Amino acid sequence: MIDAAVMRRAVMALLPALAAAISLFAGLVPTLLDYGRFEPLDWLVPGFIVLMAMRLARGPGHVCAACHWALVALPPALVLWLATRVMPWPGFLLLATLLAAGAFALAMARRRPWLAALIGTALFAALRLGAWMAHEDVVSAPPAGRVAVMTALPLFQQAQGKGGLLHGAGERAPIMSALDAEWRANPIDVLDTAALGSTDRLLLAQPRLLAPAELVALDDWVRQGGSVTILADPLLRWPSSYPLGDARRPPFTSLLDPLMTHWGLTLEPASMGSGERRMLASGAMIELAGASHFTAATGAPCSLAENGLIAYCRIGKGRAVLIADADWIDDRLWTLAPAQPRDRRRWTSDAPAMLSALIRGDAQLPRPQSPWLVSQAVLISALRWALGLIVLLTLALDRFAGAPRAPQGLTANIDRNFGPLPRDST
């Protein structure tokens, strides 16, 4: 026969752990499932709910409040630490501070549950307002410079047909609208001295087949100090409303092999596998489709990065950066709101920031705009550690703060099933 007092204590000791676990998983829902990134303030609402529930279940006291705060704040911190490449300290410190303020206010509410509910509601409203204000769109500023863009992708022209390539973005694709925050991007149709002489930066994104004279003009321009960023896709997955064989359809594979061979690079064939979300060494996230990698010949003026995905080349006085994929700038792979391309809240990767950094010629790729999830396996491992931490914190709560008082209905059910409970003389 199970001792009723032990049963009652065990049941009441498990309730905080169960509530903290529910809060932990609830904080993953708003942002992580849709965007693949963490937002520390997503744990705010479930955290306050758990704090209020624990406040009503236990008597007042600063020890209880500190333990309750630890139960709702520390497990998310462990998940963020283990499941991201870059810990979002500002967001987490804001979450921890506000949860601490809520726990302290609830402890000071004493025997006024209505006051605790009012405080919690006020803090919740203030924090949600702060969370909304923390997400700002990409700030519009005078462009840092001009970049000429030559591409066969539907980045400028108005989309037609069932494909709906620009998704109502007007005459510019979302990635071009996002790029406008820093660069004045202008399309060009021909690579010649006149077109290249009016700019010092060029973006080649899966262009059409270039004539020999155009390849020579491009090579000469780079060697004289030009800067070119090339998206060369060996297996383009970009949807098109034009039929196969139509000259307006983007090339299925890169047609820049003569230029790359001249620079000592080889674009390896891509497999037919599905796309992948790849976290770069800087912590930035991009989503690839049909990507491959480069190999460099001995003595080539190029260095490879990110397992060959990116090649950095010094060509004479100029520079060239080549990426073995072009699909990652398709709005389907970096935003859930193509009509609002500068709204970072809707981004699912760092594609705009990465493209801008490549055009600038930065030696280091940009740090992530958001704390991205490394992988599903890492998340599962982090959650296991966080649940273990909840168990340890629950044991500490039971040891230092005492068992919570059970609600009257729960006590009556335990008494009916296990017999009257021995009451403490104190």
- Domain housing 317: 145-342
Does 195 share its domain with 254?
yes
Does 154 share its domain with 286?
yes
Does 323 share its domain with 277?
yes
Task: Report the phi/psi class of residue 381: left, alpha or beta, with left for phi > 0 and alpha for psi in -120 to 50.
Answer: alpha
CA distance 286 to 276: 9
The answer to whether position 365 is within a domain reads no
Does 41 share its domain with 124?
yes
The answer to whether position 81 is within a domain reads yes
CA distance 412 to 292: 66
Does 262 share its domain with 403?
no
Q: For position 150, which CATH number holds?
A: 3.40.50
Does 101 share its domain with 204?
no
Does 183 share its domain with 61?
no
Residue 387: count of CB within 10 angstroms of its CB = 16
Judge contact between 286 and 302, C-beta under 8 A: no
CA distance 60 to 56: 9
Does 212 share its domain with 151?
yes
The answer to whether position 322 is within a domain reads yes
Task: Report the phi/psi class of residue 113: left, alpha or beta, with left for phi > 0 and alpha for psi in -120 to 50.
Answer: alpha
Does 92 share its domain with 173?
no
Domain boundary among 320, 342, 364: 342
The answer to whether position 361 is within a domain reads no
The answer to whether position 351 is within a domain reads no
How far are the Cα atoms of 336, 341, 419 from residue 137, in angstroms, in the given order? 14, 9, 62
Q: What are phi and psi of 267, to 5 degrees?
A: -90, 110
Does 288 share its domain with 267?
yes
How many structural domains comprise the chain?
2
pTM, to two decimals: 0.82
The answer to whether position 354 is within a domain reads no
Strands (E), 152-239: 183-187, 201-205, 227-231
**Both tokens assigned to 420:** 């009257």
Would you write out the chain's pLDDT as a tens digit for each of its 426 residues?
456 666 666 666 678 899 999 999 999 988 998 899 999 989 988 998 888 888 776 654 556 788 889 999 999 999 999 999 989 998 899 899 888 888 887 777 766 666 666 766 766 666 666 555 555 555 455 566 889 999 999 998 644 433 444 444 447 899 999 998 888 899 999 999 999 988 889 999 999 999 999 999 999 999 999 999 999 999 999 988 888 888 889 999 999 999 999 999 999 998 776 689 999 998 999 999 988 999 999 999 999 999 999 999 999 999 999 999 999 999 999 999 999 898 888 999 999 999 999 999 887 888 887 899 999 999 999 999 999 999 999 888 777 665 555 444 444 544 444 455 444 443
